[in-house]
Chains A and B, each alone.
Chain A
C-alpha cells in the first residue's frame, strides 16, 4: 500500500453517531476516491475528488459527505451512521488518466450496531 493510509483500520460505532474516516496519501495524486465493498456488490463509488475542494458524488452517496482541504487528505463522513453503512471502506488514488500509478488503501472495517 505504497504511500496511502487509512485511519482508523477498524471501528465499531452505534447507530446515529457521526463517523469520519481519513485517507492520507503521499503520492501527490490528483484524484482520490472512496468506495464501500459489500458481498455481492463489488466496489461501489461513494464520492470522489478531482482536486483540492473539488468533489462529486458517486453511485451510493446518500448519507455520506466528503472534504478535501489539501491534496494529501480525503475525509469521508457518515453524518448519522446506520446499520446499512456497515461495510469495508476503501480509499484509492489515481495519478492521472493515462498513468499506471493507482493505489488502494488497506481498508477500514466499519461496524454500526
Chain B
C-alpha cells in the first residue's frame, strides 16, 4: 500500500462547479497535510495546509481532514479554467514529506 493515495483522474468539471479532490494516507501518526497545485512544466505550489481535524477555508479552497478515516480532501468552489492543473496531496510521515501521484483536474469553460 502506498503511503499516500490519490485518484489520478482526470477529474472533469464545468466552469463554476465545485471540484472535489480526495487523498488517503496510511500512517496514522501523520501530523500535517498539504495540498499543492502543479501546472505542466512548473514546480508545485502550496495552496493549503491543515493539521487539525475539520475544515480549513482559504478563498475558494477548503481543505477537510478526518484523521480517524485517514482522509484529506480539497474542495475548489467556483472552479475556473485556470484551475486546470495537477493537484498533489502530501503528508508528513516520520519527518518525510511524502506525496501522492496527483489528480489531474480539467475545468471546461
Q: Is A74 an interface residue (CB 8 A)?
A: no
Q: Which B83-106 residues sit within 8 Å CB-CB of chain A?
A: 88, 90, 92, 95-102
Bound CA span A35–B14, Å? 33
Q: Which A60-113 residues sit within 8 Å CB-CB of chain B?
A: 90, 92, 94, 97-98, 100, 102-107
Chain A proximity of B10: nearest CB distance (Å): 14
Which residue on chain A has the smallest CB distance to residue B100? A42
Bound CA span A102–B45, Å? 9
Name the B residues within 8 Å of A90 (CB-CB): 43-44
In this complex, the member of A43, A50, A97, A98 whose beta carbon has the largest number of chain B beta carbons within 10 angstroms is A43
B43, B98, B102: the one contacting A1 at CB < 8 Å is B43
Name the A residues within 8 Å of B92 (CB-CB): 94, 97
A104 & B49 in contact (Cβ 8 Å cutoff)? no
Which residue on chain A has the smallest CB distance to residue B8? A40
Q: Is B46 an interface residue (CB 8 A)?
A: yes
B95 & A50 in contact (Cβ 8 Å cutoff)? yes
Chain B proximity of A40: nearest CB distance (Å): 8
Bound CA span A104–B73, Å? 22
Interface size class of B (residues with CB under 8 A): 20 to 34
B102 & A42 in contact (Cβ 8 Å cutoff)? yes
B97 & A45 in contact (Cβ 8 Å cutoff)? yes
Bound CA span A31–B93, Å? 13
Bound CA span A58–B51, Å? 23
Q: Is B32 an interface residue (CB 8 A)?
A: yes
A residues in contact (CB < 8 Å) with B: 1, 31, 33, 35, 40-45, 48, 50, 56, 58, 90, 92, 94, 97-98, 100, 102-107
3 shortest A-B CB distances, which residue pairs? A42-B101, A100-B49, A43-B99
30 contacts across the A-B interface (CB closer than 8 A): A1-B43, A31-B95, A33-B96, A33-B97, A35-B99, A40-B101, A41-B101, A42-B88, A42-B99, A42-B101, A43-B44, A43-B88, A43-B90, A43-B99, A45-B96, A48-B97, A50-B95, A56-B95, A58-B96, A90-B43, A90-B44, A94-B92, A97-B51, A98-B31, A98-B51, A103-B46, A104-B45, A104-B46, A105-B43, A107-B43
